[in-house]
Amino acid sequence: MRTSTADHARDQHSQDWRRGEHRVAIKTVIVDDHPVVRFGVKQMLSGDEQIEVVAEMADVDNLIEVLRETGADIVLLDLELENTHGVDALRVLRESAPDVRVIIYTSHDEEDRIVQAAELGVDGYLLKGCGQRELLSAIHSVHDGGTALESSVASKLMKHMNKRSSRNDIDTIRFSKREMQVLELMAVGKTNREVGETLFISESTVKFHVHAILSKLDASNRTEAVSIAAHLGIIELN
- The answer to whether domain 4-161 has CATH 3.30.590.10 is no
Q: Give the 3-state secondary structure percentages of the chain, helix then strand then coil, rounded to 5.
A: 55, 15, 35
8 A C-beta contact, residue 142 and residue 222: no
pLDDT for the residue 158: 75
8 A C-beta contact, residue 148 and residue 9: no
Which residues make Cβ contacts (< 8 Å) with residue 26, sequence separation at least 6?
50, 51, 52, 73, 74, 139, 140, 143
Which amino acid is located at 203 in the chain?
E
- The answer to whether domain 165-231 has CATH 3.30.460.90 is no
pLDDT for the residue 163: 59
pTM of the model: 0.64
Q: What is the pLDDT of residues 140-165, one digit of tens each?
A: 989 988 888 888 888 887 777 665 54
- Round the average pLDDT of the chain to a whole number and report it: 83
Which stretch of DSSP H or E encloses residue 103?
strand 101-106
Domain positions in the chain: 4-161, 165-231
Do the bridges between strand 101-106 and strand 124-127 make them parallel or antiparallel, or are there none, so unpaired? parallel
pLDDT for the residue 16: 47
Q: How many CB atoms lie within 10 A of CB 151?
A: 9
Q: How many CB atoms lie within 10 A of CB 236?
A: 9
Distances (CA, A) of 54 to 72, 87, 93, 130, 201: 7, 22, 17, 22, 35
Q: What is the pLDDT of residues 82-138, one digit of tens each?
A: 777 777 888 888 888 888 999 999 998 888 888 888 888 888 999 998 989 999 999
Q: What is the pLDDT of residues 39-57, one digit of tens each?
A: 999 999 998 999 999 999 9
